[in-house]
Structure 1
Amino acid sequence: MSDYKTIFKEEIIGKWIDENEDIEITNKRFVKLNKQYETLYNFTLAYNNYMTHKKNYNSGKEKLTMVESHILLDIVDNPKITVGELAKKWEKTPSAISQTIKTLLKKEFIYREISPENAKYFYLYPSIKGKEFTNCHKKYDNIDIVKTSKTLLEKFSLDEVVSFYMVMEEYTKLLKKKDSK
């Protein structure tokens, strides 16, 4: 932990980087800064692997990724939702969301109905199977969130864990702001 503080004090707080600085200085600084940010990169890679790993959420043999199961959750909690609405919420293209929808349709977790106002649009609804899976998923997530939080609290104070979430929230805003430029 103190290495992080040292890097902040030596390389970040009260500092600015000249775009024309000598390459030797750039390389030395990069080694220090990158060491700190490798923690973030490793977390991102590990979490991405966790998100894309298919699991059954204690529902039986059917498996979905975290993204698939959370899109299904959105459909269960918002029947009559459209691909466009899901794309907006998930900040994905309608085409990307449509790929997930195809998986959910194929597994019979959802069904779709053509919009009476415009035949180009479909409304998405959960099937009974989709609702049952989502119930299992919610129970699984509740247990997993509590277990993970308790594990973190064994090593960190409540204030530190809350700060972690606050930092993630702010970091997310920074990333979204960069993406919009």
Structure 2
Amino acid sequence: MTNTENVVLRNAKYHELDEKANIIYKFVTTYNDYIKTAHDYGTGEIINMVEVHTLTVIEENPGITVTDVALHWNRTKGAVSQIVAKLEKRGLIFRKKEDGNAKNVHLYVTDKGEFLSKAHKAYDIKELTWADKMLRQGFTTEEIVIFYKIMDRYTELLDLPRPE
């Protein structure tokens, strides 16, 4: 194979792979914008998806620590601490030192936080049911199941070391 033919094949392969990568990139950037947009989940409280999902993890796991929330969402403790501080400032959660150790800080929702978390769950049921219905207009159940398996595996791949 000549050098010119090699370049042509390499360019064709790049464009084939780039087309696929652009689908993922467009999804990720669009979804990232969506999760950062503040919503009213039916309580009058305006909050973004990252914050409300963090609130719900705390509501469903009373006494959870910042470290455990960070592990749950694959985020740094610093990033989670910032979200937790916002939730606390809004009166949605509180911190409680336990076991006589100042480092053992556990998180709990307030009544207001519990109300918002439950409203968020109802909102998500409605939204996710709608999204599932829309997907089923163009895909079979088997294709949708495979899509979620692929997304899960792709997420795992992002944490793997890259080949040299």
- TM, length-normalised to structure 1: 0.80
Question: What corresponds to 2:153 in structure 1?
Answer: 170
- Name the amino acid aligned to 2:35: M
**Which stretch shifts more, 106-115 or 23-32?**
23-32
Q: CA deviation at 1:155?
A: 1.2
Q: Which structure 2 residue ranges, 5 or more long, are not aligned?
A: none
SS at match of 1:55: strand
Q: Which runs of 4+ in 1 moved over 6 A?
A: none
Q: CA deviation at 1:102?
A: 0.7
Task: Tell me how far apart the structure 1 counterparts of residues 95 and 152 of structure 2 sit (CA, whole Å).
Answer: 34
Question: What corresponds to 1:29 in structure 2?
Answer: 13
Question: What corresponds to 1:136 in structure 2?
Answer: 119
Q: CA deviation at 1:149?
A: 0.2
- Name the amino acid aligned to 1:46: T
Question: Paired residue for 1:41, among 25, 36, 53?
Answer: 25
Per-residue CA deviations over 1:48-89 (Å, capped at 9, x if unaligned) read 1111111111221x1222111111001111111111111121
Higher strand share: 2
Task: Tell me how far apart the structure 2 counterparts of residues 54 and 45 of structure 1 sit (CA, whole Å).
Answer: 16
Q: CA deviation at 1:178?
A: 3.8
1:96 equivalent in alignment to 2:106:
no
1:148 equivalent in alignment to 2:131:
yes
Per-residue CA deviations over 1:2-40 (Å, capped at 9, x if unaligned) read xxxxxxxxxxxxxxxxxxx95554333212210122111
Task: Tell me how far apart the structure 1 counterparts of residues 73 and 144 of structure 2 sit (CA, whole Å).
Answer: 26
- Name the amino acid aligned to 1:49: D
Task: Tell me how far apart the structure 2 counterparts of residues 178 and 153 of structure 1 sit (CA, whole Å).
Answer: 35
Aligned residue pair count = 158
Question: What corresponds to 1:70 in structure 2?
Answer: 53
Question: Paired residue for 1:86, among 69, 89, 94?
Answer: 69
Give the alignment's Cα RMSD to 1 decimal: 1.8
SS at match of 1:113: strand
Task: Tell me how far apart the structure 1 counterparts of residues 160 and 19 of structure 2 sit (CA, whole Å).
Answer: 25
Higher relative contact order (CA 8 A, sep 6+): 2
Q: CA deviation at 1:44?
A: 0.9
Question: Paired residue for 1:58, among 38, 42, 46?
Answer: 42
Question: What corresponds to 1:113 in structure 2?
Answer: 96
Task: Tell me how far apart the structure 2 counterparts of residues 57 and 131 of structure 1 sit (CA, whole Å).
Answer: 13
Question: What corresponds to 1:9 in structure 2?
Answer: none
SS at match of 2:151: helix
Question: What corresponds to 2:142 in structure 1?
Answer: 159
